[in-house]
Amino acid sequence: MSIDKVLVVGSGQMGRGIAQVCAQCGMEVILTDVDPQALATAKETVAWSVGKLIQKGKLVEDLESVVGRIRTTTDLSDAAQVDVAIEAVFEDRELKQHIFKKLDELSGPDALLASNTSAIPITELAAATQRPERVVGIHFFNPVPMMEAVEVIKGLCTSDGHMERAMDFVRRLQKEPIRVESDVPGFLLNRINLVSYVEAIRLLEAGIGTVEDIDRGVRLAFGRKMGPFETGDMVGLDVSFGALTAIYEETKDARYYPPQLLRRKVRAGLLGRKSGRGWYDYPRD
Ligand code: NAD
């Protein structure tokens, strides 16, 4: 069964990026959020990003056609018409379970239900629905239009058929699906990435190195495009904190215990690029 109509729930950093790549690949998209301002920002950001890709010759279609495929609404009941619904709201277990219950009630029986969660087990989200076999994890990386890897995660009850549909959907978005056979918290790639982020913060806390030196060293020594603090600011300190907390709660593995400095920055609202300050400062102009 082909996927032509997509619902994206949550129009923040990730949701708007997911909406954009779906529209770029010819799918009709309904982008929904409880916050009308977030939807307005998402529209502007997507238009800017698509415009850049056209300018660079990476997209041949005109801006209006791509952006015209995305309809924004605060009404979740539009879920009735879609082939796949992708949830990308805050990293909050109860909120996500509430959304999955709603999506299950509202969507047609054949719709695939997916979460972009960074760390919450898919099985727990699926448990909020009557048809857990159609619930999968489709975990995009930030910034969505640029990053090629997408984890496709099997929950305990996800059927092989729905898993294959999700893998095909990711290929249609011209991305590489990375199959994750079990929904262990953090899945595959965040398990690896978050350990190095935590270690970098602990080295900073101990005064062993500075933010700038650690980032520069990691870029130059390991061939990464960004250091752990640069990535942390882009992702959002609250998002990483949420992911670490979810993994730690589930595993009690001390490697994932959120460091004190990260916790304090999140409490102070220093969330990274989106708040203007995190590990670095981002002047508004
Ligand atoms: P964000 O804070 O930028 O956006 C979340 C959006 O969800 C907000 O616009 C908010 O208004 C909306 N929202 C909240 N409650 C809602 C509801 N009931 N219905 C509809 N919309 C609602 O968050 P984000 O960074 O886009 O992260 C979203 C999800 O993606 C999280 O689960 C996060 O862990 C995951 N994720 C984030 C990154 C990243 O780098 N930021 C990477 C991979 C996965």
Q: Residue 188 Cα, ligand 1 centroid: separation in angstroms?
A: 20
pLDDT more than 90, % of the chain:
91
Contact 137, 167 (CB under 8 A): no
Amino acid at 237: L
* Residue ranges with strand state E in 110-244: 112-115, 135-140, 149-154, 176-180
* 9 close to ligand 1 (CB < 6 Angstrom): yes
Query: Alpha helix locations (H) across 29-139?
Result: 36-55, 63-68, 93-106, 122-126
pLDDT of residue 135: 98
pLDDT of residue 274: 92
What is the mean pLDDT of the segment spanning 100-108? 96
Q: Say if residue 271's pLDDT is above 80.
A: yes
Q: Say if residue 285's pLDDT is above 70.
A: no
Amino acid at 220: L
Q: Which tokens go with 9?
A: 């729930």
pLDDT of residue 119: 83
Residue of minimum CA distance from atom 41 in ligand 1: 235
pLDDT digits over 216-257, tens only?
Answer: 999 999 999 999 999 999 999 999 999 999 899 989 999 999
- DSSP type of residue 156: T
CA distance 248 to 256: 5
* 245 close to ligand 1 (CB < 6 Angstrom): no
- The pLDDT mean for the chain works out to 95
* 239 close to ligand 1 (CB < 6 Angstrom): yes
Task: Give the full edge-to-edge strand order of the sheet including 135-140.
Answer: 70-73, 28-32, 5-9, 84-87, 112-115, 135-140, 149-154, 176-180
pLDDT digits over 7-31, tens only?
Answer: 999 999 999 999 999 999 999 999 9
Cα separation of the two ends of the chain: 47
Q: Which tokens go with 31?
A: 């982008």
pLDDT digits over 134-177, tens only?
Answer: 999 999 999 999 999 999 999 999 999 999 999 999 999 999 99
Annotated active-site residue 118? The verdict is yes
